[in-house]
Amino acid sequence: MGSVTVVRPPALRPGARVALVAPAGPLLERDDLTRSCELCHTLGFEPVLGTHAGARAGFFAGTDAQRLADLNAALADPAIDAVWCIRGGVGLTRILDRVDYDGFARRPKPVIGFSDVTALLNALHRVTGAVTFHGPMARAAMSAFSRQHFERVLGQAEAAGRLGCLPVPADVLVPQRERIVSLVPGTAEGPLVGGNLTLLQTLVGTRFLPDLDGAILFLEDVGEDLYRVDRMFTQLKLAGVLEKVHGVVFGTCAECGPGEGFGSLTLEEILADHVKPLRVPAWFGAMIGHQTPQWTIPVGAEAEIDAAKGTIRLLAPAVR
């Protein structure tokens, strides 16, 4: 990996002041703000609502300036213990180059979200070395398992080595409607990076693309025609960013279908075409992204995957 030192933010404890921000798409219901605050209270946190969280400008949650102001204020404020995104959507890449990375680096804290927030999570880690958290949005109801996993990972952010497997055994905790498919059996170790495939693709050619050298790449997507999924993997391949990964974990592609046309590859066939040739341990069917229940994945944390069992185990950080 790169020269930036990995920084593990403080664990999130009861009473923590959690900033609720909407740096991407707009909130679709008035209740989104209420539900986000109520969820914070339920988890024992004190919600701090962003000034412009309820704003709207087209398909964004306010103007770029409004969304950036809320995000930067939360990232740099020493009185804020975590930043939790209310929803994804679109828009984070428009403000990514103006995020206050220096302010965040002075006092790193957990930043949580997924989908469009993938861009922010990986950019913060790439620029500052801080571990971020690919996990549920603040506005969504949490299943019992999602909550347990969220609290376990965020509550021990500084001591990742004690987290154990995510989960063990996989065949019990993965929903029965899903399958774990081993593409290339084996085990591999490396830092976890990734998130939404579409957003990862948009970071190619920018300074915010995560360092995939020796990494465990985890991916998921939603609402994409399968030919687009194939095209995104093709671009990653042509850009040379997949060549040095140590392992691949794919979640699901929710609401992804063949689209219009006379035929389509299946998701499993697309993954076989693009992932198997990497000859690294790889599997899909993980509880990542647009599904319930959902894992909370620490971006930048060292982990071991077992592609035959379908597990991710967080490793203790090296002694420095």
- By the 10 Å C-beta count (0-12 exposed, 13-18 middle, 19+ buried), 169 is classed as exposed
- What's the predicted TM-score (pTM) here? 0.91
- The residues annotated with a catalytic role in the active site are 115, 220, 290
For residue 294, give the nearest of 249, 247, 252, 248 by alpha carbon: 252
Task: Give pLDDT, residue 97.
Answer: 97
| Predicted pLDDT of residue 178 | 55
**Predicted local distance difference test score (pLDDT) of residue 17:** 98
pLDDT of residue 173: 32
pLDDT at 264: 84
Q: Are 92 and 103 in contact (CB under 8 A)?
A: no
Q: Which of 187, 236, 188, 241 is nearest to 211 (CA)?
A: 241
Contact in structure between 128 and 271 (CB atoms under 8 Å) = no
Show the domains of the chain with their CATH numbers: 17-154 (3.40.50.10740), 160-314 (3.50.30.60)
Q: What is the pLDDT of residue 169?
A: 34
The residue among 287, 306, 301, 7 whose CA lies nearest residue 161 is 301
Strand partners, 217: 193, 248
Q: Summarize pLDDT for 192-211 with one digit per residue, the tens.
A: 999 999 999 999 999 999 99
Low-confidence ranges of the chain (pLDDT < 50): 1, 158-177, 318-320
**296/290 Cα distance (integer angstroms):** 12
**How many angstroms from the chain centroid is the CA of residue 235?**
20
